[in-house]
Chains A and B, each alone.
Chain A
Amino acid sequence: MKSRNMVALPAAALLAMGLAACGNSGSSSSTSASTSGSTTPATTASGSITGAGSTFAAPVYMQWGSGSSGVTVNYQAVGSGAGITALETKTADFGASDPPLKPADEAAIAKNGSPAVQVPMFLGAITVSYNLPGVKTGLKLDGKTIADIYLGTVKTWNAPEIKALNPGVTLPSTAITTIHRSDSSGTTAGFTGFLAAVDPAFMTKVGSGKDVNWPGGTGAKGNAGVAGAVQQTVGSVGYVEQAYALQHNFTYASVKNKSGAFVAPSLASTTAAATGVTIPANLGFAITNPTGPGAYPITSQTFIVVNQDLCKAGESASTATGVVKFLEYGLGAGQSILSAADYAGLPAAILSKAKAAVASLQCNGSAISAS
């Protein structure tokens, strides 16, 4: 009798574990947006709003929305594309996107009853991080050399191209291993956008976008994956978001900008990159290879997108007030905590335009006061 129980128990445990394991592997896909296409706005209790979009901006919005702004924000970091879709289908109160809106997206959002407004919130940069023992941070590289490294024409660290840019530095003959993102990402889009702008060969062979076919190199999933791969592999180079690189004390290169200066990725040089960029009327600017002596060349921006008349688009008055309160906080007191999180704030000219855009937001024709 005892031995029968002893067999039955592990058999039952086996069955349960087998079912659990099947369930685990079946549901372990990456998170995705809930684009259910419902027409009811995603309102919750007063003082709480929902947002969806950019994974790059997620840490900042989650920090802003955890109470210091007075508004609680449920933010889903599902990616810029999914965030805009969530705003179009009204499953989120605001969308967050790194690249500016395409005309097709603007039209789709306008169909909800009110045109789209993009509010630039802050800036970020992409560092070229490397793992080369003996070489300190600040190795000088220019866009063409980085493109050649990723294309595979520059194969070792002591290649003549790199030596020419760094006269006093002893470079080992280690082979270069390039690391890139295996998943779709705005960081890839920003990095390839820069390389395609400075190197026509890169443009034709690889192109730019969220997903490109890299000629060789190792793919890693997520920002943390690239960072981990760079740390593990001696002689590797990878593109890592600035906030991550600064927080974890990576060694990164100083990249040559359009004016010819080698600039290290710092918060100041990132803000400088946005100074002097032409801002279109709908504020949908994209920084690609900026001019300006102190500008870091691989810089990106992020927006929050809402309808201009939130209530006409289906939001309740309290939600509209919450969104405006959140935006005003972000462009006001929120900018000062950005540097603590290693993100760069907007330069003064763009900041004032963003504040004007927020002031123009309305609820059923009347301005919203978020006090």
Chain B
Amino acid sequence: MEAASLPTGDRRSLLQRSPVARLPDRILKYGLTTLAALILILIVYFFIRLTGQAGPAFSKFGVFGFAFGNNWNVNIDHYGALPLVVGTLVTSILALIIGVPVAVATALYVTELCPRRIRTPVTILIELLAAVPSVVYGLWGLFFLAPKLQPAEKWVAAKLSFVPFFGGGSVTIPNDFITGLVLAIMILPIVSAISREVMATVPADQKEAALGLGATRWEMIRLAVIPYCRSGIVGGAMLGLGRAIGETIAVTILIGDEPVLGHHLFGQGYTLAAVVANEFGEATGLHRSALFAAGLVLFVLTLIVNGVARYFVTRAGRGTRVLPTGNAGGAAATAVAASGAGV
């Protein structure tokens, strides 16, 4: 036993020391409790102020009338947020559909197939995607990506015009598809990082057992890695969804401004975050109150998404699998809880 590893200071037991010695403990307890309570109070205060400002809009249209009303018309001062809610969900789910497979694929590549030497540079490059500011994504998407993709979009819209969501409208440069695509790129680093973390915890003996029984590499991944990581991947996807729902400036630049239901993939849409960003500067009276209400609806939507995410993650983590899955589910649950909505 080396002297350097023992704690310095008074080594008598707590009961032998004076009460003053217990003061730091008390300060710690009450100080940390106060800080934690402050955070809770801040969230509640934030919620209350939002509701207060949104009051006029809710009293005029009713809470459900506002959230599910189908007409957002500033000129006649009528505000119903359903097209915005649908637009938010459409772009976010599109981002998930495009982004999660790619993110899981990159995570699989990095953990299973990548040569050790380039593993870290590849990881860093993927994480760099998270460092690009949101507005840069929006401008890049609008001025570079959208014009380049427009001929392909027009071709797809023409070929699939009989499918209700794909065809049947004009192809504009800012549209739902481009927004979903750029959002997918933005959520890639988060989903990829969490998937990678979870895949790294797969016990080696499971993988070796599959390989030992004669599985090919793909079969090993399919049988040993992915089922083990499913809850973690779902948790990461929900985190990405939370970020996509709240994303503001990139979506504002890329979505156009059509608060109408009946979206089609290559036409404009509108989201809750984009309408606030676009209209807040000149909004007065009922209009401003309606924008606060839209913000409140967005807040509640994000809370619901996070709640669903936690439910799926913990339920999948407690699944009927015999193998110890606590690690994967626990890691993902902590990540979901720690980053909140990720916005």
Contact = CB atoms under 8 A, between A and B. Distances in A.
A232 interface: yes
B124 A184 contact: no
Contacts of A30: 249, 252, 277-278, 280-281
Interface string A176-187: 010010111110
Contacts of B74: 184, 209-213
Contact of B134 (A24, A81, A210, A218): A24
A87 interface: no
B343 A28 contact: no
B342 A22 contact: yes
Interface string B109-144: 000000000001001100110110111000000110
A100 B3 CA distance: 81
B134 A17 contact: no
Contacts of B75: 206-209, 211-213
Interface of A is mostly: mixed
B278 A182 contact: yes
B312 to A, nearest CB: 21
Contact of B174 (A6, A18, A219): A219
Interface in A180-196: 180, 182-186
A103 interface: no
A21 interface: yes
A76 B329 CA distance: 49
B5 interface: no
Interface in A24-53: 24-26, 28-30, 32
A6 B281 contact: no
Interface residues of B, number: 50
A343 to B, nearest CB: 21
B173 A81 contact: no
A118 interface: no
B281 A22 contact: no
A301 B278 CA distance: 23
Contacts of A32: 280-281
B181 interface: no
A137 interface: no
A71 to B, nearest CB: 26
B278 A10 contact: no
Given A14-B193, A25-B246, A213-B73, 19 more contacts: A7-B120, A14-B123, A17-B128, A18-B193, A20-B131, A24-B134, A25-B186, A26-B246, A30-B278, A32-B280, A82-B281, A183-B277, A184-B280, A208-B75, A211-B75, A212-B74, A218-B172, A221-B252, A228-B143
Interface of A: 6-7, 10, 13-14, 17-18, 20-22, 24-26, 28-30, 32, 78-82, 85, 177, 180, 182-186, 206-214, 216, 218-221, 225, 228-229, 232-233
7 contacts: A20-B131, A26-B343, A28-B134, A28-B248, A207-B75, A213-B73, A229-B173
